[in-house]
Amino acid sequence: MDNRLTRRQREIYEYLQAHADEAPPTLDELARALGMTSRGSLHRHIQALVDAGLVEPMEGKKRGVHLAENQEGTDNQGLPMLGRIAAGRPIEALPQPERFDVPPQLRRNRPCFVLQVEGDSMIDDGIFDGDWVVVEERDRAENGELVVALIDGEEATLKRLEQRSGEMVLHPANADHAPQVYRPDRVTIQGVVVSQMRRYF
């Protein structure tokens, strides 16, 4: 079964994660925090998170919306956090010896890693400075996919891929940034973005 979450469900889950050390919010508090006007719509999203095993069922025994207990202490779900990736201009992705907890619904069965986004060139795709992206390790990608590309074996960047005859074009999602065009032998695909995460404070 495909348990991938919608963007709104990810936003709710990420908000609950970011505020896990606080009192669990009620539906009304959660709706206000996320700018949602429909309590019924929010309840449906919460139920989807319950079905995915990420949130405890709301059976009236506890106040507020609680993350599922099995979401705590999941070291086996940790992915390697490899550093920062430029969404504006290429920078070096610096390895960092740490793990990043990622729920299974936001990753693939194949090897994945996490990078933190730096820059604003992908904002029209909803990817902002400071977000984290989960990347599936792959050495090739299809046109239109969001990729981590290594330029000249030294600098990494996050862009949408277009492969043409004799060249590879890395497209930003911001009109203030121009596409980057390279010979194919200068570009190495390191992975494809499969999900993203964000904190709200």
3-state helix/strand/coil string of the chain: CCCCCCHHHHHHHHHHHHCCCCCCCCHHHHHHHHCCCCHHHHHHHHHHHHHCCCECCCCCCCCCCCECHHHCCCHHHEEEEEEEEECCCCECCCCCCEEEECCHHHCCCCCEEEEEEECCCCHHHCCCCCCEEEEEECCCCCCCCEEEEEECCCEEEEEEEEEECCEEEEECCCCCCCCEEECHHHEEEEEEEEEEECCCC
Q: Decide: 22 and 61 in contact? Cβ < 8 Å.
A: no
How far CA 63 is from CA of 26, 123, 144, in Å, comes to 7, 36, 44
Q: Based on the residue annotation, tell me whether 62 is a catalytic residue of this protein.
A: no
Please list the residues that pair with 169 across neighbouring strands.
162, 181
Q: Which of 38, 61, 159, 165 is catalytic?
A: 159
Q: Which of 41, 61, 62, 121 is catalytic?
A: 121
Q: Based on the residue annotation, tell me whether 165 is a catalytic residue of this protein.
A: no
User: So which residues are the catalytic ones?
Assistant: 121, 159
